Amino acid sequence: MFIRSKHLAFFVMAGVAFSQTRLDSHSKMHLTFPEESPVTVVGADWGESTQSPRGSAMLLDLHTSLLLKNAGSKRIRGITLLVLAQEVTPGGKASVTVPSLNVAPGETFPIRVDLRLLRPMQNNSGPAVEIGLDGVLYDDLSFYGTDRLQSRRAMTVWELEARRDRKYFRNVFENSGPDALKQEMLASLERQAGRSGMDAHVAQGRATNTYPERSQRVAFLEMPNAPVDITGAQVGLAGDEARRPTIYVSNRSDRPIRTMEVGWVLKDQRGKSYITGVIPVSVPLQPFGTTTVVQDTAFKFSEGNGQPVLLDSISGFVNSVEYSDGRMWVPDRNPRLLNPSPEEQRLTQIYKKKGVQALIEELKKF
């Protein structure tokens, strides 16, 4: 009986392997960069990209390496690619963003695409996957691209954070030497390891659990030199959900404001704290004006293992502000509150893999 079970498992596994086929790069995977693009494709290695049926859809497992070239006249600081299997199908669209680049005109640079997409089984005409350019951010913070994914704002924030953090670590090295820089890297790695993983899901316009709801005033942490002032906020807490956050905002500046990003600091019923990812909020504000922002949304929170985070309290902070002319504000460095920026994570990995001298050389490049 045991032997027959082994044979059964073998045949099941063989059937799964048989249903999985490799994607034909010539007919099924297309690169759709515009002719006038300042970034061109030098080469593409489609690797072991495969497709396999999943119910009424096809699961596309992509593992691709692209070699791109800066064909423009400015240094590239960030790039976002749009990866599309189906525009309207859930799971049919994704993106790949690489911040903290330093690519001079004429230089090449690699990008990895490792992700999964879903495509309707009945839609077999045309390419299975299209990879296009959503946007490029330059060292003068100018932007090229369609910006369908609002990548300009995200990459600008990350670049401003990168400049802030690189300046901080350079100052540590120049004023206190390599040993002090090493201690900063070790402290950052410890903070990153101690961050509690959490997932946030949105249930638009409705509650999704039966916990009783209680209203709570939300304290917003003061961010020095912020162009906005949160004069009050409240939210409904119910189990693992934060419902209908309402924020009262004042513009402290003499420039119109388009949007801001808000981060949430959560504490669960066990006393454990979490810092969420930031959430863009549309706040059209005239100079020195005020407004009330109501999000008819329920944010549902869970740990990385899927267990719900039962909320006890919530506070907030302003993570960035976008003016109407496209310029951005980001807060001063605050490692006790803010999650490590993509650049800080990149620099700590350089230190971890190559040592402090390699990190010093990297900081000197910018």
Q: Which CATH number does the domain housing residue 76 bear?
A: 2.60.40
189: alpha, beta or left, given left = phi > 0 and alpha = psi -120 to 50? Answer: alpha
DSSP 328: E
Is 166 in the same domain as 139? no
- Alpha-carbon 318 to chain mean position: 17
DSSP 103: B
Is 203 in the same domain as 190? no
Token pair, residue 70, equals 């800066």
What does the H/E/C string look like for 115-149? EEEEEECCCCCCCCEEEEEEEEEECCCCEECCCCC
Is 134 in the same domain as 173? no
pLDDT computed for residue 140 by the predictor:
97
pTM, entire model: 0.84
| β-bridge pairing 29-31 and 129-138 | parallel
The answer to whether residue 163 sits within a structural domain is yes
The answer to whether residue 16 sits within a structural domain is no
Tell whether the model's pLDDT for residue 198 goes beyond 90: no
pLDDT computed for residue 308 by the predictor:
87
DSSP 87: S
Is 35 in the same domain as 98? yes
How would residue 214 be classed by pLDDT, with cut points 50, 70 and 90? very high
pLDDT in tens, 307-333: 888 999 999 999 999 999 999 999 999
Tell whether the model's pLDDT for residue 146 goes beyond 90: yes
The answer to whether residue 89 sits within a structural domain is yes
Q: Are 317 and 257 in contact (CB under 8 A)?
A: no
- Tally of structural domains, the chain: 3
Domain that holds residue 91: 26-149
The answer to whether residue 6 sits within a structural domain is no
Which of 80, 115, 149 lies at the terminal end of a domain, its last residue?
A: 149
Distance CA 50, CA 27 (A): 13
Is 185 in the same domain as 203? no
Is 180 in the same domain as 128? no
Is 279 in the same domain as 191? no
Q: Are 196 and 273 in contact (CB under 8 A)?
A: yes
The answer to whether residue 229 sits within a structural domain is yes
Token pair, residue 356, equals 């402090």
The answer to whether residue 1 sits within a structural domain is no
pLDDT computed for residue 261 by the predictor:
92
Q: Are 307 and 254 in contact (CB under 8 A)?
A: no
* Packing angle, helices 151-176 and 178-194, rounded to 10: 140
Give the whole-number percent of the chain exceeding pLDDT 90: 56
Distance CA 64, CA 25 (A): 10
Three-state secondary-structure class, residue 161:
helix
